[in-house]
Amino acid sequence: MLIIAWLYGAQGVNRLLLASQVILSLQLPFAIIPLVLFVSSHTVMKKFVISRPMAILAWLITAVIVVLNIRLLVDTFMS
């Protein structure tokens, strides 16, 4: 980051920071989908399984995240 700041200034650091945040957001579904699958599974979690309403809420939030990431990809590659 220091090299980017030295070569490109504040604008380069801003672009680098934005790129890192985009990459992190694109990785989020790969963590959240298995997490919701595991905590919703009676065979895996036994008595610690989440309730049905909580599972529905978790899947809705996961769907929103996935849809927003798809929109980000479409906007990035179509512009």
Q: What is the mean pLDDT of the chain?
A: 90
Residue 53 pLDDT: 98
Within 13 Å, how many C-alpha atoms sit on residue 61's CB side? 11
Q: Is the pLDDT of residue 64 over 70?
A: yes
Residue 1 is predicted with a pLDDT of 62
pTM: 0.77
Structure tokens at 8: 């490109």
Domain range summary for the chain, segments of one domain joined by + = 25-79
CB 58 within 8 A of CB 39: yes
